[in-house]
Amino acid sequence: MTFPLGISVPVANPRDPSYEVLPGQGYDGVALILLPGGDNCTGTLLTSGQHILTAAHCFEDYSQDGEPTLEPEPNSVTVVFRLPQAELTLEPVHIDIHPDWDDQDGFNGDLAIIHLAEVLPREVPRYELYREFDEVGQVFTRLGYGVMATGAQGEFSEDESMVLRAGQNRYEALGELYNEEEGEPESYIQPGKQLMYDYDSGRSQNDALGIEYGLLDLGLGAQEIGSSGGDSGGPAFIDGKVAGLSSSGSSPEVEGIDVTLENDTSFGEYFFDTRVSAYGAYIDQVVMGEPRLVQAQESYLDQPEMSASTTQGLPGEWLSLPVVLALGGWGLLKLRLRSKLPTEAQSKTSDESQEG
């Protein structure tokens, strides 16, 4: 199994502005996470204002499958929030990886929490967790940074623009539906821990879950999206709350369902999200166990709102943070987005995966 990472749009133009999300449109708390080697992921600021929810696999070296990094180096990671006035850039102080994460094809426990030094200003939106267990059958809104992609053509791997895009899909099953009776142990999905959906073109021949599992659904038309390079750890919102984290994906076994015959986030492929409701207690424990949180929350309540004038420098409360406000784009910053490792076109699992 390889994993998806961004937003794949169902129209011919991968730059269609109707799928782009600009600062000030309610999702400024969805973060771009810059990783060593030029890779990137996506994350979501939680209600603490100090913790970012993302995927564990973002912090892995995929030359060592099955040997998870449970204590990644925060100094090699940069978090960026794009606000209407400026870009807010921070270095984490700690990264927690869920203990079930095993860096194997099943992507179990694919959840990480990035700790920031202090609470962010109130201009950066926070998001609650979706805690109900009724996600299957519901439409969600997916957001993510990553390479351009279309359902008909798959990923445009040369894209380095890192645009935040959004679209919708529907959770159609729990992830364990994908388990094979005699499958390899490393590809086994823990029951109740992942949410599954497919990428529909609107035509029955590309309805992967319909053809292989009898779950007929031709999708949401122009709103239907898949995930592509750069979206790993990105949120799926139900009722404005984080219900899923972009984790993994694969091509169907039946030939011809996937329109490109490759696992490149095109029409006819499967996707899997880490199910946030299944990890709510763990997330609460990590967030509330943060020793700096109470003090940081108190200073957050006292701090003034960020204004146009304060975006030119740092508010007084922020002088201790490793924060840089960069106006006017990315300058000389160039990120190399890693292309997917070769996989067999119709394989449900893969011995090799690529980082997000």
| Inside any domain, residue 296 | no
Q: What is the pLDDT of residues 165-178, one digit of tens each?
A: 999 999 999 999 99
Distance CA 43, CA 53 (A): 5
| Inside any domain, residue 308 | no
Q: Which amino acid is at 210?
A: G
| Inside any domain, residue 328 | no
| Inside any domain, residue 242 | yes
* Residue 128, pLDDT score: 98
* Residue 65, pLDDT score: 63
* Residue 350, pLDDT score: 32
* Residue 141, pLDDT score: 97
Determine contact, residues 150/8, Cβ cutoff 8 Å. Answer: yes
Determine contact, residues 5/41, Cβ cutoff 8 Å. Answer: yes
| Inside any domain, residue 165 | yes
pLDDT in tens, the chain (356 residues): 433 335 787 888 877 888 899 999 999 999 999 998 888 999 999 999 999 999 999 999 765 666 898 999 999 999 999 999 999 999 999 999 999 998 999 999 999 999 999 999 999 999 999 999 999 999 999 999 977 888 888 787 766 668 899 999 999 999 999 999 888 888 999 999 999 999 999 999 999 999 999 999 999 999 999 987 678 999 999 999 999 999 999 999 999 999 998 888 889 999 999 999 999 999 999 999 865 444 444 444 444 444 332 233 333 333 233 333 332 222 222 222 222 223 333 333 333 333 34
For residue 6, how many other CB atoms are within 10 A of its CB? 34
Determine contact, residues 274/245, Cβ cutoff 8 Å. Answer: yes
What six digits make up the tokens of 260? 């490109």
| Inside any domain, residue 115 | yes
| Inside any domain, residue 345 | no
Determine contact, residues 298/120, Cβ cutoff 8 Å. Answer: no
Number of domains in the chain: 1
Block residue for tokens 């994908």: 178
| Inside any domain, residue 309 | no
Any idea what DSSP says for residue 38? G
* Residue 78, pLDDT score: 97
Block residue for tokens 């984490």: 92
Q: What is the pLDDT of residues 310-346, one digit of tens each?
A: 233 333 333 233 333 332 222 222 222 222 223 333 3
Cβ neighbors of 132 (< 8 A, separation 6 or more) are: 277
Q: What is the CATH number of the domain that holds 173?
A: 2.40.10.120
For residue 332, how many other CB atoms are within 10 A of its CB? 4
* Residue 93, pLDDT score: 97
191: containing domain:
17-285
